[in-house]
Amino acid sequence: MRVLDLSAIAIVDHHCHPIRRPDQPVTLREAFSEAVDPQAIADGAETLLFRRTLREVAELYQCEPTEAAIEEARRSLGGDESLRRCFSEARLAALFVDEGIGDGQLLPAEAFLSVAPIRRVLRVESVATALISEESTWSAFVERLRTAIATPGPQVVALKTIVAYRTGLDVGPADDAAAAEVFFHLRQQLLRGRAIRLAHRPLNDWLVHEAARAARQTGLPLQVHTGFGDPDLDLRRANPLLLRPLLDHPAYRETRFVLLHAGYPFVREAGWLAWVLPNVLLDLGLAIPLLSVGGMRRTIDAALELTPLSKLLLSTDGALAPERFFCAARWGRRALGESLAAAVGDGDLTAGEAEAAAEAILAENARRWYGWPPAA
């Protein structure tokens, strides 16, 4: 198959996370798994993804393609040098960083400044969790939350919700009284010295409505995790089709929703939403690079079945280790190049249209929808 060479395009990575501090490194196995269970992480070494990744990272670090040799190479190169190598291969024009992944051992987002300019993604559940511990009344909490997400400052280019991971995408109407009840319940837990987790439907659903409204007011896109991701999510409730009432709600027709993770495995469903609703965009992150090569290609092919080229974006969803960014950028370009070349072969696109589509998906759509970074 003829392949489009996309190596010249610098990717605008519209969704990623920080990496670990050098004194708290993750193994390559851990970095390329979404599991928490140690046995599941070990089993992850037997995926096509991991077999491929071992060879590619070994090539980058010029060592044997074994886990032991790679971990030794990572140690001897050190954090700064492996970051530099991974990012000079990845060639990312900008990074939009979500620091809310709740891992207390991460470097701040500024650690990326040596390799790319950064902006921030504000995770509304993190904002809410922090404010519950600071405010004792519901009205004070609501006021501070609204201010925080409606005036997040110039560094923030998107809002984000992880409701899919907590209570599911079948978001109901906002019920203030029921949400307030959850707020007081969580306050009680805090007063008893317990840690709190925002996983009670009335408050989580209420928060999504607040985020959708703030996104409309500010013009910032609202990123929504859909499909696979954290291991504890209920995948049945992460189907982006469940979002339809929210996406279509008259109050949010001006809110731009970005469906993250390609909605995998509900890629066609997500692509259909992006096709029929003017305010829905689709991201290919996490599916790239965590699937087999065939899986990545089929995911992009499925997205391209209906998604307008102007509404498809690539993120790395890189996290924890710089190798995630390296592999996501490599396979973002390669798999997209293969899918677009196939579209040319099929007669769906001309060669010129395929090249323009690649620019759009890897960089220009993010510039346009988020308004940053300025044109290169």
Residue 251 structure tokens: 């109050």
Which of the ranges 36-44, 56-64, 213-221, 312-320 carries the binding residues for Zn ion, by CB under 5 A?
312-320
- In terms of CB distance, is 53 or 161 closer to Zn ion? 161
Task: In angstroms, give the least distance from the CB of 96 to Zn ion.
Answer: 10
What does the block give as tokens for 372? 């940053």
Asked whether position 317 contacts Zn ion by CB under 5 A, the answer is yes
Q: Which is nearer to Zn ion, 70 or 290 (CB)?
A: 290
Distance of closest approach, residue 178 Cβ to Zn ion, in angstroms = 28
Q: Which amino acid is at 353?
A: E
13 contacts Zn ion (rule: CB under 5 A)? no
For tokens 């954290």, name the residue. 230
The secondary element (H helix, E strand) that includes residue 14 is strand 11-16
How do strand 280-283 and strand 156-161 relate by DSSP bridges?
Answer: unpaired
Q: Among residues 15 and 187, whose Cβ is nearest to Zn ion?
A: 15
Give the range of 23-31, 47-55, 183-191, 314-322 binding Zn ion by CB under 5 A: 314-322
Long-range contacts of 34-40 (CB under 8 A, 24+ apart): 34/228, 34/229, 34/230, 34/231, 34/290, 35/231, 36/231, 36/232, 37/231, 40/231
Only one of the segments 85-93, 288-296, 311-319, 336-344 lies at the binding site for Zn ion (rule: CB under 5 A); that segment is: 311-319
Contacts 24+ apart (CB under 8 A), 145-148: 145/207, 145/210, 146/210, 146/214
Min separation Cβ 253 and Zn ion, Å: 26
The least CB distance from residue 98 to Zn ion, in Å, is: 6
**Smallest separation (angstroms) from Zn ion to the CB of 252:** 22
Residues in region 94-123 near Zn ion by CB under 5 A? none
User: Minimal CB distance to Zn ion: which residue?
Assistant: 317
The Cα 101–Cα 365 span in angstroms is: 25
| Angle at the Cα of 67 from the Cα atoms of 65 and 73, rounded to 5 degrees | 80
Report 218-237 residues binding Zn ion (CB under 5 A). Answer: none
Q: Smallest distance from the beta carbon of 200 to Zn ion, in angstroms?
A: 22
Output 210 or 317, the one with its CB closest to Zn ion. Answer: 317
Quick one: 317 or 338, whose CB is closer to Zn ion?
317
- Which one of the spans 113-121, 153-161, 230-238, 317-325 is the region binding Zn ion (CB under 5 A)? 317-325
Q: Is the dihedral of CA 272, 353, 326, 374 positive or negative?
A: negative
Distance CA 58, CA 178 (A): 53
Q: Cβ 15 to Zn ion, closest distance in Å? A: 6
Tell me whether residue 61 or residue 257 sits nearer to Zn ion (CB atom). 257
State how far the alpha carbon of 286 is from the alpha carbons of 7, 60, 353, in Å: 20, 21, 26
Give the rounded distance of the alpha carbon of 337 from its chain centre: 21
User: Could you tell me how many residues of this chain bind Zn ion (CB under 5 A)?
Assistant: 1
Of 269 and 317, which CB lies nearer to Zn ion in the complex structure? 317
Q: Looking at beta carbons only, is 16 or 179 nearer to Zn ion? A: 16
CB closer to Zn ion, 118 vs 349:
118
Distance CA 144, CA 148 (A): 6
Side-chain half-sphere of 23: how many Cα atoms within 13 Å?
2
Q: How far is the CB of 281 from Zn ion (least distance, A)?
A: 15
CB of 79 to Zn ion, least distance (A): 21
Q: How many CA atoms lie within 13 A of 93 on its CB side?
A: 20
Shortest distance, position 230 Cβ to Zn ion, whole Å: 9
Record the tokens describing residue 341, joined without a space.
């070349």
329 in Cβ contact with 91 (< 8 Å): yes
Q: Which is nearer to Zn ion, 125 or 317 (CB)?
A: 317
Told to check if 125 binds Zn ion by CB under 5 A, we report no
CA distance 169 to 162: 9
Residues within the interface to Zn ion (CB under 5 A): 317
